[in-house]
A and B are shown apart, each in its own frame.
Chain A
């Protein structure tokens, strides 16, 4: 690896200050960053280590909300009884990430801010993500690329926890030189037409500090279903994060967000509207599946994602009310 200095952050303010050093980058678990340094995708002079910030790896109930420090490991998060019980979709999403070794090191903030795994980007093609002005997937090997929200870049967002957090209507706390701001999870992610070089609204000198989850309504159930192209250790081809607020057999409210199909977690508001106030029957689930793929714009080699998405939405809904 190229030479760099590791500096340990004492607190969030200290981390933000240290990030102002020339060519500094932030590091959490390091699983993604160190690989990118080795592959010459990032060549930092300074690594600002967030793991030394006391308390940033904790889960705490504050009033009606649950606060989760961004440096919590995916393993700890997925085993937390509060998360497993009331926010199942997040526990299942965290548990579905990569491998035990990655989950023991990888953090929630790191998973959310993970860079895309498009093979053109990761192999140093001069694409939008690498500072270029072209997306090589459009005419290339695009079997795992976006069917929604693509253009000019067609990457898919790689995070499993991100769709879960959007489905749970989480709030993200972001710190930067001018202080802290809080934004809805859905507003954290940015389509390529807004910024083709990045996947979210974080400034170069900003840090995702923590997330907070609102209290779940009575009768809420949630799940994360992830379709892989092999049995383990890969990113979602298509995934669905679903949160249903049920009153007996009736779905009062639904939030449904897809992973693996768009450059951001892809919320299905039209499907949510179809389900609201209805009993989820096989017919309604089928209708929801059809609505889920409306407006899909597949590339030459990822058309299979359309029926996969349609069926995943239908089946997951039916399993949730079975």
Chain B
């Protein structure tokens, strides 16, 4: 890729500064960060990538594969904005090293729609006004997807329990629960948080 990303720009600048600096007596240049090659499948597409051992999965998804749907909120496994599916199970992609992903299959929010059609969850999120500011939405969608994988007809209580790992600072939780119930076909007339 010849496109200059923010990361390649900063990395290039950093290298220039290091090369141009006068080395202090007795000081060694820092050892290059350890790297490894991984093979991963993201949304059904196989990738072979060289990654620094310290890079997290979400950094690789966003900065190296251009999949910016997964967000970095807290970067500490607390907020859920970076939620992706790892072999079908939801995980915080900020709390996984990319180097651990060798041979694994990852699904991100970009993989939800197929052939130009939104996933029923995405349709329901729109219909029921799930997103407000939208920053947490991709993570909410992936947690909902993982939940419906395991339990295709959840109750409202089960949806709440299944999505406890995703914080919405607009606090639109009731709409998110309603959206997931609607997508699962388990939204009864009186179960939603909102009267039409």
Q: Which residues of A pack against B, CB within 8 Å?
A: 1-6, 30-31, 34-35, 38-39, 47, 49, 51, 75, 98-102, 104-105, 232-233
Contacts and interface: CB of A to CB of B under 8 A. Distances in A.
B80 A34 contact: no
B164 interface: yes
B95 A75 contact: no
B53 A35 contact: no
B75 A101 contact: no
Contacts, number: 82
B165 interface: yes
Given A1-B54, A101-B80, A104-B90, A6 B95 contact: no
Nearest to A76: B89
Interface of B: 30-31, 33-34, 36, 52-54, 56, 75-77, 80, 83, 86, 89-92, 94-97, 99-100, 143, 146-147, 160-166
B149 to A, nearest CB: 11
Contacts of A30: 95-97, 100
Contact of B165 (A6, A47, A51, A102): A102
23 contacts: A1-B56, A3-B30, A3-B53, A4-B34, A6-B100, A30-B97, A31-B92, A34-B77, A39-B76, A47-B97, A49-B100, A99-B80, A100-B146, A100-B147, A100-B163, A101-B77, A101-B80, A101-B91, A101-B92, A104-B86, A105-B86, A105-B92, A105-B96
Contact of A99 (B86, B89, B97, B164): B164
A101 B163 CA distance: 9
Contacts of B146: 100
B52 A3 contact: yes
Contacts of A34: 56, 77, 94-95, 97
A75 B11 CA distance: 39
Nearest to B83: A101
B34 A38 contact: no
Contacts of A51: 100
B54 A4 contact: yes
A233 B164 contact: yes
B95 A98 contact: no
B34 A6 contact: yes
A31 B52 contact: no
B165 A233 contact: yes
Given A30-B97, A31-B95, A34-B95, 17 more contacts: A2-B54, A3-B33, A3-B52, A3-B53, A6-B99, A35-B76, A99-B164, A100-B143, A101-B80, A101-B90, A101-B91, A102-B77, A102-B92, A102-B165, A105-B92, A232-B161, A233-B165
Contacts of B97: 6, 30, 34, 47
B130 to A, nearest CB: 18
B103 to A, nearest CB: 11
Contacts of A232: 160-161, 164
A5 B55 CA distance: 11
A3 B165 contact: no
B51 to A, nearest CB: 10
A100 B100 contact: no
A194 B164 CA distance: 37
B54 A35 contact: no
Contacts of B80: 99, 101
A35 B75 CA distance: 8
Contacts of A101: 77, 80, 83, 90-92, 143, 165
Contacts of A4: 34, 53-54
Interface centre among B31, B83, B91 (most CB of A within 10 A): B91
Contacts of B92: 31, 101-102, 105
B36 A6 contact: yes
